[in-house]
Amino acid sequence: MTRQVAGMVASLCMFMYCFVPTVGTAASAATPSFVEAVWSQTDALGHAAIYYADRQQDAPWSEPVRITDDQFDNLHPVIADGPDGRKWVVWSAVNQPDFFIHYSILAGGVWSAPRAIPSGLSSNTAPFVAVDDSNVAWVVWSGNDGVSNDEIYFSRCRAGKWDKPVRLNPKNEVPDILPQIAIAKGKPPVVTWLGFRDGEYHRLQSSRRGASWSKPVEISDAAEAATEQAAREIALPATVKHPERAFIHVIY
């Protein structure tokens, strides 16, 4: 599932495996200048933990850094870099029957202790994160209030405080899942997701318009083949046991 947003960001999500290149030229025509990966891996105690590694161009991957060490099963990690150099990693934290969205920030070479994004929802899964020109982190995810189907929610972290989560898609009686968010330089956020319509899932898109979101429109996945090929050409760290649990961010 792929979408080019304002010529700057394309993304591919296959189950939990995601590839997001930040591109100035076509991904297939350039060598990455920087690649970073986050992934979920089960430890000796049976808990899924989040790890991070990066590399410069053709250099070897750095030693993996473990971000989480808790009783949660930590899944679906994603990462975004802010203009101020901070890195935001966001993921699903599961401790049955609870499903939370947790995050950690790399600043000054140190990862912060994981914290939860407050939502008040019954379940929160499959997050995606982007950081705008003002270093505001935007997170979208599939949330459920315990009454209706999954919906798309978003929140922002401004000056260290999270906004109250707001439903992004119009209220309906069908599932809306697997959101992705992209913010091109100088542009408003754009969110894409899968919405169940007419008996099958369709890829939908909505853009930020002032204090609200535009009416969702259906989009195609025409760029999928090129992005999939770019993803296949990037080798993950050798310690990644399950590529389907990894997320790669590429800078060209």
Give me the residue label for tokens 């169940």: 196
Quick count: other Cβ atoms within 10 Å of Cβ 251? 14
Specify the pLDDT at position 31: 80
Give 153-164 pLDDT, tens digit per residue.
999 999 999 999
Q: Helix H segments across the chain?
A: 224-232
What CATH number was assigned to the domain covering residues 2-251? Answer: 2.120.10.10
User: Which residues fall within 8 angstroms of residue 169, CB to CB, at 6 or more apart?
Assistant: 151, 152, 176, 193, 195, 204, 206, 216
What pTM did the predictor assign? 0.89
Query: Domain limits of the chain?
Result: 2-251
What one-letter code names the amino acid at 30?
A
What one-character DSSP code corresponds to residue 43? -
Averaged over successive runs of 10 residues, the pLDDT of the chain (252 residues) comes to 28 44 49 93 95 95 98 97 98 96 98 97 98 98 95 97 97 96 96 95 96 95 62 86 93 86
8 A C-beta contact, residue 146 and residue 159? no
Furthest-apart CA pair in the chain: how many Å? 50
Specify the pLDDT at position 26: 44
Query: CA 28, CA 196: separation in Å to the nearest integer?
Result: 32
Specify the pLDDT at position 166: 96
User: Which residues fall within 8 angstroms of residue 159, CB to CB, at 6 or more apart?
Assistant: none
